[in-house]
Structure 1
Amino acid sequence: MQTSQSFGIHFTTRPDKAKDGKEPIYACVTVNKQRAYIALKQNVDPKNWDGGKGAAKGNKDEVKSINNYLEEVRLAIGNCYKELQLKRKMLSAKAIKDLYLGEEAEVYSLSRLITYHNETSTTDLKWSTLRHYYVTQRYLVKFLEDQHHASDIYLHQLDFKFVKDFEVYLRNHKPKDHQKPLNNNGVMKHIIRLKKMVNLALNLQWITNDPFATYKLKILKVNREQLSEKELADMEKKKLSIERLDMVRDMFVFCCYTGLSYVDMINLTPGHIIAGSDGERWIRTCREKTLIPVNVPLLPQALTILDKYKDNIRSLSNGRVFPTVSNQKVNSYLKEIADLCGITKNVTFHIARHTFATTVTLSNGVPIETVSKILGHTKITTTQIYAKVVERKLKEDMNALKLRIGSSTL
C-alpha cells in the first residue's frame, strides 16, 4: 500500500486537569492532520513548561528527568509508527496510540471495504448488478492513482472533499477506448455505489464519520424513450431478408407486447409458458434482476412470434424459447433495424419495455396498477416513470371530457 503520510509528535499539558499545582503531560500524535492524545505518567509545574517547544525548561534535575522521559516516549512512539509501516498496516494517529498502549486495533482501507462488499454481496445481488460495482472499483483505483498518487486510502480519510473530488474526476474523465464520457446520471450511479459501500462500513463500525453527511446527489429526470404506435407497426411489418435482423426484430417486438426485459426474454424456456385458468397461454417467470414473480397474459402479436420459434433449432439446442444472442449484439442490430424502418430514435432493447408500458398498455387504458404487476415492480412509483401519456391518449381523454361536460349542461 502506497500512501503519503505526515507524522509528528508534540508534547503538551492540560491545565484543566491540574492537581496540586501541577499539570499532566500528554503526547499529541498527528498523522495526516488527525490527532490522538496519550496521557503520560508525568506532571509538571506550569512555570517550568515551554509550550512552544513542548518540553520542560530549567536546569533542575527534575526538569532534566522529565525531558529525558519525554525523549524516551518520543522514540517509543516513533518506533510504533515504523512498526506499522513495516507491517504494512493502516497508519493513523489512533493506531499508533493503540500500539503504544498495547491496545493495537485494526484499521480499515477502502480496498478492503470494496473487497468485503463484493464478496458478501454475491448472494444478495445478481451478477448483472454486481458487475457495476467492479466498474466503480476500477474508477476509484484510477482516481486514487491520478489524484492521490496512492494505491489505497484509509477509510477514516474519506471525507466530503474526497467524494466531491471523485465526482469531479468522473465528470472530467475522458475514456481512451470506444466508451462515451459519463453523463450526469452515469456519474451519480458511481457515487451512489460508493455511498452504499460507505454505509456498509458505518454499519460495521469500521468508521464513525459519514463523508456523505452533507453531500447531495444530483439525479436529473430523464425523458424515457419509447416507440410510437406507428413506429411499432412499421417495425412489425418491415420485411427483413437478413436472418439475424429478423430474429432480433422478433425478440424486440415480443418484449413490446410482454414487457419482459432482455435478460428475462433470453432466459425464457418452454416451461415458463403455461396454460392459465382462462385456457389462454401465459408467461409465468421471475424477474432476473429482483426475483419478483411475473405473470403475463400473451397477446396475439406475442403468440405469433412464440409459435414462429417453437421449432427453431438454435432455440431447441439450448432449451430456450429464443436463440441466444448477446445484449451488445442485439443493441447493435437494433440500430440497423431502426435505420431500415426509418426510425430516427436511438433504439435499444430496453425501449421495448418502455413501449409496452406506454404505447401498448397505459395509452390503451390499462390501469397503472395492472401494468405495475405485469412489469414486476414492487412499488407503483417505479411504474409511474413509464406513465407518459402519449398524444393520442391525451386527445381521447380530452374528447371524452368534452362529451361529459356537454351532456351535463343539457
Structure 2
Amino acid sequence: MKTTHTFGIQFIIRTGKKDRDKGLVYARITVETRRIEISLKKTIAVEEWNKARGMAKGFSPESKKFNSYLEHVRSQLTDAYRELQINKEKITPENIKALFLGDSDEHTLIELVDYHNTTQASVLSPGTMKNYRTTKKYLERFLKKKFKASDIYLVQVNYKFITDFEYFLRNYQPLDHQKPIGNNGVMKHQERFRKMINLGFRLGWITQKPFDSYKLSFRKVDRGFLTEKELHAIENKKLKVERLQIVRDVFIFSCYTGLSYIDAINLSPDEINLGIDGQYWIFSKRQKTDTKLRIPLLPKALEIANKCQKHPRSISRDRVFPLISNQKLNSYLKEIADLCAIRKNLTFHLARHTFATTVTLSNGVPIETVSQVLGHKSISTTQIYAKVLEKKISEDMRKLKLTLCKSIDK
C-alpha cells in the first residue's frame, strides 16, 4: 500500500445565490487528484476574505481569532491524515473527512436510507416500499463485506462506492433458492439507491451528487405473453382442485382487464358499475401510481366477476375475489401451466402483458386506448408491450393484398 501521498488543505468560501456579500467557509481536502470539501458552518464577509491565502484579512482581534480557528482545523485534518498513515489504512479525502468529523452530527448512509423509507411509506405503494427495504438489505450486506461495518458516513459514498456496490450485486450468491440478480435487477437497486442519495443532497446532508457520473444501463427484454391458443387452453381446462380454479379465474380476469395482482385482488364489487354506454365498467385506481382506472368489462371478465364475488371468502372480505397471496398465486399458476402443457414461465404479471398484446393491440385496439385502460401515465410505458404479432402482420398484409388487387382491377 502506498504510504506517501500528495496531500493538501485549502480554505475557500462559497456565496449563496441570494446573499453575495457573505460566504460560507469550506475546508477543501486534496489527496492526489481527488478532493472533497467540508462545510465549517462559519460565514465571513467576502471583502474580509483573502482568497489567495485562504484566510481572513487584517490583524483585528476578530480576524486573528478566525484564522486561529482555521489553523486548528488544519491541524486536526493533518492529524487525521497521519493517523490513517500510522494505521496503514487507505488514505482518501473521504476517510480523512470521516475521521475528522468523528462523532459529530455528520449524517450516515443507513440514517439516510431509514429517513427515506420512513417519510415515503405513506407516499409509495407497499410493493414499492418492499423493494426499497430489499435494497437496504443489500446495502447493509455490502457494508459488512466491504467495510466490516454496519454503517458509514455519507461523505464516504463516492463514485467508487457506487461501482463497487454494483460489482457486489452482480456477484452476490443467494444462500436460498433465489436466482442471482440479473442486470436489470442490479440497475433497479442502483436506481433506488440513486433516489435516496439525491434526497440526501436536497436535504443538505451531502454537498456532492456522486451519481452524476454514473449511468444506469438497462437491457431491453422481451415481455412474455400468452398466445390466443395458450389463453384459450387455460380458459377451457377442466380443473378439479378449487384453489386452482380460483387462481385460474383471477388470472383470466386480468388477461381481459389488464389489472395488476394488487388491483385485481383488492377489487370491490362497488367498483363495478354501469358506464355511459350502458355496459359494466371498472371504476377504480391503480394502487401503484394512484392513477384512475376506467375499464370496460369484456364478456369473459364480467362472467368471472359475477361468479367469483359470490364465493363465501369473497363475500367475507367484500371483494370480487377470495384473498390469495401473490407468491402462492404464482406457485399455483406453474401447476396450471404444467396441466395445460404450457412451457412458459407463467406468472400473474403475464396476464397484464397478455391483455396488452394478444387481447387488445393484436386485435386492432389503438395503443392510446390500451395505455388509458392499463392506467399508464405515459404512452412510452405502453409501447413496451406493443409487440407486432405474426397474426396481426398476416391480417394487415391480407388487407393490403386486397387493396392492391382492387387497384389493379380498376
Is the pair's TM-score, using the shorter chain for normalization, greater than 0.5? yes
Displacement of 1:109 after TM fit?
A: 1.2
- The corresponding residue for 2:235 is 236
CA gap of 1:73–1:186, structure 2 versus 1, over 3 A, is closer
CA gap of 1:152–1:169, structure 2 versus 1, over 3 A, is same
Q: Distance in 2 between matches of 1:28 and 1:226?
A: 56
Kindly provide the amino acid, as one letter, of the partner of residue 228 in structure 2: E
- The corresponding residue for 1:109 is 108
What's the CA shift string for 1:197-229, capped at 9, x where partnerless?
111112122222221222121100010000000
What's the CA shift string for 1:354-409, capped at 9, x where partnerless?
00010001000111111111000111111110110211111001111222233333
- The corresponding residue for 1:404 is 403
Does 2:132 match 1:133? yes
Does 2:144 match 1:145? yes
Q: Is the 8 A contact 2:309 2:319 kept in 1?
A: no
Q: Distance in 2 between matches of 1:79 and 1:216?
A: 35
Q: Distance in 1 between matches of 2:362 and 2:287?
A: 27
Q: Distance in 2 between matches of 1:311 and 1:165?
A: 54
- The corresponding residue for 2:224 is 225
Kindly provide the amino acid, as one letter, of the partner of residue 407 in structure 1: K
Kindly provide the amino acid, as one letter, of the partner of residue 225 in structure 2: Q
Displacement of 1:309 after TM fit?
A: 1.7
* Structure 1 residue matching 2:149: 3-state secondary structure: coil
- The corresponding residue for 1:348 is 347
Kindly provide the amino acid, as one letter, of the partner of residue 281 in structure 2: W
What's the CA shift string for 1:228-262, capped at 9, x where partnerless?
00000111000000110011001100110111111
After TM superposition, the structure 1 = structure 2 runs for residues 178-217 of structure 1, keeping only pairs within 5 Å, are 178-217=177-216
* Structure 2 residue matching 1:224: 3-state secondary structure: coil
CA gap of 1:79–1:379, structure 2 versus 1, over 3 A, is closer
CA gap of 1:30–1:395, structure 2 versus 1, over 3 A, is closer
* Structure 2 residue matching 1:333: 3-state secondary structure: helix
Which has more radius of gyration?
1
What's the CA shift string for 1:115-174, capped at 9, x where partnerless?
111111123211210111110011001101101212212211111111111111001000
Q: Is the 8 A contact 1:377 1:383 kept in 2?
A: yes
After TM superposition, the structure 1 = structure 2 runs for residues 55-204 of structure 1, keeping only pairs within 5 Å, are 77=76, 93=97, 96=100, 106-204=105-203
Does 2:309 match 1:316? no
- The corresponding residue for 1:389 is 388
Displacement of 1:95 after TM fit?
A: 8.5
CA RMSD of aligned residues (A): 3.3
Alignment gaps of 5+ in structure 1: 1-5, 15-26, 39-68, 82-89
Q: Distance in 1 between matches of 2:220 and 2:10?
A: 56
Displacement of 1:31 after TM fit?
A: 9.7
Displacement of 1:265 after TM fit?
A: 0.5
Q: Is the 8 A contact 2:371 2:379 kept in 1?
A: yes
Identity %, equivalent residues: 52
* Bigger shift: residues 349-358 or 154-163: 154-163
* Structure 2 residue matching 1:213: 3-state secondary structure: helix
* Bigger shift: residues 397-406 or 113-122: 397-406
- The corresponding residue for 1:42 is none
Alignment gaps of 5+ in structure 2: 12-26, 41-67, 81-93
Q: Is the 8 A contact 1:95 1:106 kept in 2?
A: no
Aligned residue pairs: how many?
348
Q: Distance in 1 between matches of 2:169 and 2:10?
A: 46
Q: Is the 8 A contact 1:184 1:219 kept in 2?
A: yes
* Bigger shift: residues 201-210 or 130-139: 201-210
TM value normalised by structure 2:
0.77
TM value normalised by structure 1:
0.77
